[in-house]
């Protein structure tokens, strides 16, 4: 069986299982919630692909539609969501019509002290819209987007089983995969990322717990040999006034060598603010030791919120290469009136391949004005300035100005 057939069969079987379970859950007591969302957007963007030399300026009209269904019962939950956009622009190389479809299915079952969760997804994205920092759905880290134009298609799913949720000991087992393919003019190669693992948690006393984890992952890129990674990890966590303290040690056995690290952290949750930091060091596969850590701070203001984030990590990158990554973010939201607010954001990242020393730097500055309209509509107007500097290619900039009207509706039959 081919990799593509295996992935499609997994997603199709999981989707069929969820759809069959949907009528069964509806027979029990619970709540059915439907959500609808619509937005229309006009934008003008210079050098949309952040290329060198620059691409022509693009004017685009987008209409985004979203639908969600959640049926919750005493024993579980079934969820279904779908989204897609209708697009038209003046760029002959950019796709028009229906783009960026996103379909997700989920099923949760709850026991007395356990839970089972299944999920599957099908999504497709125009790579011109990914020229920014994005959240990796597998690792939870903020990562850089892929290079090149074209279309990225992803199919996958995940399984997670948690047990002993309210007891002095417990844990979880999980597994999943993401199959990624590209079409169009992009130079990226199709790949399959598979992972599996588990954790065990033990309460040493009412305020201290130890968590042992093991995770295996494989990155299989078309035209190359699969790359396996095995990561054992041990975490000690202790509840403290207004937060907790923790210590974490890990090792990663990769195709390029062993990566290992140690860090310590502390969090505080206060009535009007929160603060968290981690400090440590990681020895990379090349033998060099890099300081690592993170800082997250949020402060509630009289009429808004101020947030700050900073992180440096030594991890496997998008294509399983070791990457030293530094990410910084600053955000401010402020209410001008009961109907209007402004939001400012600044993000910057520096990513270095530890084997080749090739470095890519990204920065983004944005400002958005939001105004509430009658009948729960919201008007957004904003601008974004982006910069990308890559060794061997040069620096590219892009400016975007947009106007968007959106509305979200929730309905309980």
DSSP single-letter state for residue 131 = -
Region 91-106: what's the mean pLDDT? 85
**Is there a contact between 249 and 237 (Cβ–Cβ < 8 Å)?**
no
CB atoms within 10 A of CB 343: 17
pLDDT band at 134, cuts 50/70/90?
very low
What are the backbone dihedrals phi and psi of residue 137, each rounded to the nearest 5 degrees, phi first? -70, -20
The strand pair at 322-337 and 243-254 is best described as unpaired
Helix (H, G, I), strand (E, B) or coil at 13: helix
Block residue for tokens 């065990």: 200
The string of pLDDT tens digits covering residues 304-324 is 999 999 999 998 766 677 889
Q: Write down the residue that tokens 């990624």 correspond to.
A: 180
pLDDT at 149: 67
pLDDT of residue 128: 64
144 in Cβ contact with 129 (< 8 Å) = no
Instruction: List, for residues 327-358, the tens digit of each pLDDT value.
Output: 999 999 999 999 999 999 999 999 998 888 88
| Of 154, 158, 354, the residue nearest 254 (C-alpha) | 354
The rounded distance, in Å, linking the Cα atoms of 250 and 115 is 27
65 Cβ contact partners less than 8 Å away, ≥ 6 residues apart: 37, 38, 83, 84, 85, 86
Residue 255 CA to residue 285 CA, distance in Å, equals: 9
Q: What are phi and psi of 21, to 5 degrees?
A: -75, -20
> 37-85: per-residue pLDDT in tens?
999 999 999 988 788 888 889 899 999 999 999 999 988 999 999 999 9
Alpha-helix residue ranges (DSSP H) falling in 27-88: none
Q: What is the pTM of this model?
A: 0.79
Residue in 284, 331, 290, 334 with CA at minimum distance from that of residue 310: 331
Q: Which of 7-16, 185-194, 383-392 has the lowest mean pLDDT?
A: 7-16
Helix (H, G, I), strand (E, B) or coil at 88: strand
What's the rounded Cα separation, in Å, for the pair 162 and 201? 11
Which tens digits make up the pLDDT trace of 267-312? Answer: 999 999 999 999 999 999 888 999 999 999 999 999 999 999 999 9
Determine contact, residues 154/177, Cβ cutoff 8 Å: no
Task: Dump strand ranges (E) for 302-393.
Answer: 304-316, 322-337, 340-353, 359-372, 378-390
Contact status, residue 394 vs residue 361, Cβ threshold 8 Å? no
Structure tokens at 5: 């057939």
Distance of alpha carbon 314 from alpha carbon 289, whole angstroms: 10
């Amino acid at each position: 069986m081919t990799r593509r057939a295996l992935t499609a069969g997994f997603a199709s079987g999981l989707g069929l299982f969820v759809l069959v379970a949907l009528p069964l859950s509806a027979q029990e007591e619970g709540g059915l919630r439907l959500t609808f969302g619509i937005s229309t957007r006009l934008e003008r963007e210079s050098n949309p692909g952040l290329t060198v030399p620059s691409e022509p300026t693009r004017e685009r009209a987008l209409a985004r539609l979203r639908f969600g269904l959640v049926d919750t019962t005493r024993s579980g939950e079934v969820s279904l969501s779908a989204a897609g956009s209708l697009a038209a622009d003046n760029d002959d190389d950019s796709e028009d019509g229906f783009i960026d479809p996103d379909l997700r299915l989920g099923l949760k079952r709850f026991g007395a002290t356990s839970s089972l969760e299944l999920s599957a997804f099908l999504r497709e994205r125009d790579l011109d819209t990914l020229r920014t920092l994005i959240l990796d759905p597998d690792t939870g880290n903020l990562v850089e987007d892929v290079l090149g134009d074209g279309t990225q298609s992803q199919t996958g799913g995940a399984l997670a089983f948690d047990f002993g949720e309210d007891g002095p000991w417990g844990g979880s087992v999980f597994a999943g995969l993401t199959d990624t393919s590209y079409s169009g003019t992009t130079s990226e190669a199709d790949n399959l990322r598979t992972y599996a693992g588990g954790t065990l948690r033990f309460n040493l006393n009412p305020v201290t717990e130890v968590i042992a984890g093991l995770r295996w992952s494989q990155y299989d890129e078309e035209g190359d040999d699969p790359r396996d990674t095995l990561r054992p990890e041990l975490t000690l966590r202790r509840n403290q006034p207004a937060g907790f303290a923790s210590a974490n040690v890990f090792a990663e056995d990769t195709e390029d060598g062993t990566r290992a690290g140690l860090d310590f952290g502390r969090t505080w949750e206060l009535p009007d603010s929160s603060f968290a930091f981690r400090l440590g060091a990681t020895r990379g596969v090349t033998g060099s030791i890099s300081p690592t850590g993170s800082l997250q701070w949020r402060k509630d203001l009289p009429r808004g919120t101020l947030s700050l984030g900073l992180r440096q990590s030594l991890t496997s990158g998008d294509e399983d290469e070791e990457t030293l990554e530094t990410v910084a973010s600053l955000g401010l939201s402020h209410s001008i009136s009961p109907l209007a607010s402004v939001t400012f954001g600044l993000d910057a990242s520096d990513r270095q391949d530890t084997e080749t020393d090739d470095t890519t730097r990204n920065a983004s500055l944005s400002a958005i004005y939001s105004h509430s309209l009658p009948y729960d509509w919201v008007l957004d107007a904003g601008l974004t300035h982006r910069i990308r500097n890559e060794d061997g290619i040069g620096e590219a900039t892009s400016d975007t100005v947009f106007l968007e009207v959106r509305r979200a509706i929730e309905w309980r039959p």
